[in-house]
Amino acid sequence: MSKSSDIKMVDAPAGVQGEGFFATKLDEVVGLARANSLWPLPFATSCCGIEFMATMASHYDVARFGSERMSFSPRQADMLLVMGTIAKKMAPILRQVYEQMSEPRWVIAVGACASSGGVFDTYSVLQGIDKVIPVDVYVPGCPPRPEQILDGIMELQELVKSESVRRRSSPEYKELLASYNIS
Ligand code: SF4
Q: What is the pLDDT of residue 175?
A: 96
Q: What is the pLDDT of residue 165?
A: 92
Q: What is the pLDDT of residue 1?
A: 56
CATH 3.40.50.12280, domain 32-156, yes or no? yes
Domain ranges of the chain: 32-156
Q: Which of 43, 45, 48 to mutate to test the pocket of ligand 1 (most atoms within 8 A of CB)?
A: 48
Q: What is the pLDDT of residue 10?
A: 80
Q: Write the secondary structure of the chain as one string of H (helix), E (strand) and C (coil).
A: CCCHHHCCCCCCCCCEEECCEEECCHHHHHHHHHHCCCCEEEEECCHHHHHHHHHHCCCCCHHHHCCCCCCCCHHHCCEEEEECCCEHHHHHHHHHHHHHCCCCCEEEEEHHHHHHCCCCCCCCECCCHHHCCCCCEEECCCCCCHHHHHHHHHHHHHHHHCCCCCHHHCHHHHHHHHHCCCC
- Quick check: CB of 48 below 6 Å from ligand 1? yes
Ligand 1 centroid from CA 164, angstroms: 34
Q: Tell me which residue has its CA closest to atom 5 in ligand 1.
A: 84
Q: What is the pLDDT of residue 183?
A: 80
List, for the chain, all residue ranges whose pLDDT scores fall below the cut of 50: none
- Enter the pTM of the model: 0.93
Atom of ligand 1 at shortest range from CA of 143? 3
113 annotated among ligand-binding-site residues: yes
Burial of 62 (0-12, 13-18, 19+ CB in 10 A): buried
Task: Quick: pLDDT tens for 57-87.
Answer: 999 999 999 999 999 999 999 999 999 999 9
